């Protein structure tokens, strides 16, 4: 047993708490002030890739996933360098960073998210280098990402003008929302899109095939718990991840006058093959 362990065990509870606080504060200081800056200096991480300690959006390679989706925006949404882009739930810039090398000075990017740390990082590291990239923190409630938020998604109005954007992207956002909240967002997406503009959305879609596959060992999730018109894999916190019935979702999209661009590009989350991405992708177009 180490000396540190002995000291911890024989210390009174108050000092144990202080020892823990000091330890974790010291580890955080060492990580943020020494390890993470060194990664940039020695070339292990570029200045537009956030350090691992700050990344809170999904798994996988931050840079590679962003670059893959940039190509989806170009191929599926006909994104052009001079387009105006809105990133709904922009996180810590995973979709924004690869667009900095694609959008021209005539193009623009707006992103909003309820997680203040992610927005602050983007404002400090992306906007100074690319002034046409703007980020906004919004006080939206989310049981997983922002449980202290005051505004509700079901009544939220995007802080942008009508017909402002050529392209809207919503990656990994609807997988944390109810069908009624998604309906509100779809109405806002239609409002802010220019006529002819396109929107890339991603979901966990439930159809006959994904329902059959998701109970097998090859599936990443088994959405078996019904909750407010969606299905969850965690019965205690459905906001961790939610799947939606494909037929019902398409019906809601149709009520907002947002026709989908076939085909639906199914993902691999349930073990389905072939797959375009991990999540299922639906492209919408404003007539």
* Sequence-ordered list of residues with C-beta below 8 angstroms from that of 282, at least 6 positions apart, any chain: 200, 201, 202, 203, 249, 253, 260, 264, 265
**Which one of 5-9, 129-133, 238-242 scores highest in mean pLDDT?**
129-133
To the nearest 10 degrees (0 to 180), the angle between helices 246-255 and 179-192 is 40
Q: What is the predicted pLDDT for the residue at 145?
A: 76
d(CA 173, CA 282): 13
Confidence of residue 24 (pLDDT cuts 50, 70, 90): very low
* Sequence-ordered list of residues with C-beta below 8 angstroms from that of 245, at least 6 positions apart, any chain: 206, 231
Bridge partners of 231?
A: 226, 243
Contact 277, 201 (CB under 8 A): no
Q: What is the predicted pLDDT for the residue at 7?
A: 45
Q: What is the predicted pLDDT for the residue at 20?
A: 46
Residue 15: is its pLDDT beyond 70?
Answer: no
Characterize 6-40 residue by residue with b for buried, 16 or more Cβ atoms within 10 angstroms of its Cβ, and e for exposed: eeeeeeeeeeeeeeeeeeeeeeeeeeeeeebeeee
Confidence of residue 228 (pLDDT cuts 50, 70, 90): confident
To the nearest 10 degrees (0 to 180), the angle between helices 3-10 and 13-30 is 140
Average pLDDT, the chain: 87
- Give me the DSSP letters along 24-59: HHHHHHHIIIIIHHHHHHTTSS-TTS--GGG--S-S
Per DSSP, the three-state class of 96 is: helix
pLDDT tens-digit profile of 179-216? 999 999 999 999 999 999 999 999 999 999 999 999 99
Confidence of residue 41 (pLDDT cuts 50, 70, 90): low
> The tokens of 46 are what?
């570029």
- Give me the DSSP letters along 156-193: ---SS-TT-EEEEEE-SSGGGS-HHHHHHHHHHHHHHE
> The tokens of 45 are what?
């991480």
CB atoms inside a 10 Å sphere around CB 122:
25
Least confident of 2-11, 111-120, 225-234: 2-11
> The tokens of 79 are what?
């994104």
How far apart, in Å, are the Cα atoms of 122 and each of 52, 110, 141, 170?
14, 11, 21, 18
């Amino acid at each position: 047993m180490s000396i540190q362990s002995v000291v911890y065990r024989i210390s009174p509870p108050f000092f144990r708490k202080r020892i823990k606080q000091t330890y974790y504060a010291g580890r955080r200081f060492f990580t943020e002030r020494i390890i993470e800056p060194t990664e940039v200096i020695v070339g292990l991480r570029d200045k537009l890739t956030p350090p691992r300690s700050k990344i809170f959006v999904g798994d996988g390679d931050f840079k590679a996933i962003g670059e893959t989706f940039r190509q989806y925006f170009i191929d599926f949404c006909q994104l052009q360098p001079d387009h105006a882009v809105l990133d709904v739930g922009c996180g810590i810039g995973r979709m924004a960073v690869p667009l900095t090398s694609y959008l021209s000075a005539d193009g623009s990017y707006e992103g909003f998210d309820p997680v203040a740390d992610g927005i602050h990082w983007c404002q400090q590291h992306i906007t100074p280098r690319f002034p046409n990239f703007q980020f906004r923190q919004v006080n939206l409630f989310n049981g997983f990402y922002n449980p202290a938020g005051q505004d509700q998604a079901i009544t939220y109005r995007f802080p942008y003008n009508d017909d402002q954007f050529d392209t809207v992207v919503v990656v990994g956002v609807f997988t944390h929302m109810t069908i009624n909240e998604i309906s509100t967002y779809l109405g806002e997406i239609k409002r802010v899109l220019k006529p002819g503009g396109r929107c890339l959305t991603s979901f966990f879609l439930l159809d006959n095939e994904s329902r059959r596959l998701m109970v097998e060992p090859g599936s990443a999730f088994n959405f078996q718990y019904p909750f407010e018109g969606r299905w969850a894999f965690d019965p205690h916190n459905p906001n961790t991840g939610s799947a939606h019935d494909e037929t019902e979702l398409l019906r809601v999209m149709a009520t907002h006058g947002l026709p989908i661009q076939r085909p639906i590009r199914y993902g691999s989350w349930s073990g389905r093959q072939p797959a375009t991405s991990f999540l299922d992708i639906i492209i919408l177009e404003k007539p």
